Structure 1
Amino acid sequence: MKSKLLIIGASGHGKVVADIAMKMNRWQCIVFLDDDESIETSIGIDVIGTSDKVYEYLEEYEIFVGIGNNATRQKVYERLVTLNADIPVLIHPNAVVGEKVKIENGTVVMAGVVINSCTKVGKGCIINTGSSIDHDNYIEDYVHISPGAHLAGAVKVGNRSWLGIGSIVSNNLNISSDCKIGAGAVVISDITEAGTYIGVPVRRI
Structure 2
Amino acid sequence: MLIAGAGGHARELLDILFAEGKTENLYFYDDITGITSLHGFPILNSEEAAKEYLINNPDFILGTGNPQVRKMFYSKFIQWGGKHKSIKGQGIACSKFTNCKEADIFNLCFIGANTQIGKGCLINTGAQIHHDVKVGAFSEINPGAVLLGASEVGDKCSIGANATILPKVKIGNQVIVGAGSVVTKDVSDGVTVVGVPGRVILVK
| Same topology, TM > 0.5 | yes
How far the C-alpha of 1:145 sits from its partner, in A, is 0.5
Who is 1:186 aligned against? 182
Instruction: Choose which of 144, 164, 182 in structure 2 pairs with 1:168.
Output: 164
From 79, 86, 90, the counterpart of 1:89: 86
Matches of 2:8 and 2:199, distance apart in 1: 30
Q: What is the match of residue 201 of structure 1?
A: 197
1:9 corresponds in structure 2 to 5
Within 5 Å, which residues of 2 pair with 1:95-134? 95-105=92-102, 107-134=103-130
One-letter amino acid of the counterpart of residue 82, structure 1: Q
Alignment correspondent of 1:74 = 71
Shift of 1:112: 1.1
Offset at residue 157 of structure 1 (A): 0.4
* Code of the aligned partner of 2:16: I
Aligned-partner Cα distance in 1 for 2:21–2:115: 26
List runs of 5+ in structure 1 lacking aligned partners.
none
1: CA distance, partners of 2:164 / 2:25: 38
Q: After the TM superposition, which residues 18-97 of structure 1 pair with which residues of structure 2 at under 5 Å, given as runs?
A: 18-26=14-22, 28-36=24-32, 38-58=34-54, 59-97=56-94
Query: Which stretches of structure 1, 4 residues or longer, exceed 4 Å deviation after superposition?
Result: none
State the SS of the aligned residue for 2:83.
coil
Paired residue secondary structure (2:162)? coil
Give the AA of the match of 2:173.
S
Unmatched 5+ stretches in structure 2? none
Q: Shift in Å at residue 30 of structure 1?
A: 1.6
Percent identical residues: 28
Q: Distance in 1 between matches of 2:72 and 2:111?
A: 26
Distance 1:104 1:140, change over 3 A: farther
Q: Which moved more, 1:32-41 or 1:156-165?
A: 32-41
Name whichever of 25-34 and 121-130 sits farther off: 25-34
Deviation at 1:136, TM superposition (A): 1.3
Q: Over residues 81-100 of structure 1, what are the superposed CA-to-partner deviations in whole Å (9 max), with x where a residue is unaligned?
A: 22331111100022222112
What is the identity, as a one-letter code, of the residue corresponding to 1:68?
Answer: G
Instruction: Work out whether residues 11 and 42 of structure 1, in 8 Å CA contact, stay in contact via their aligned partners in 2.
Output: no
Contact 1:131–1:149 under 8 Å retained in 2: yes
TM-score normalised to structure 2 length: 0.90
How many aligned residue pairs are there? Answer: 200
RMSD of the TM alignment (CA)? 1.7
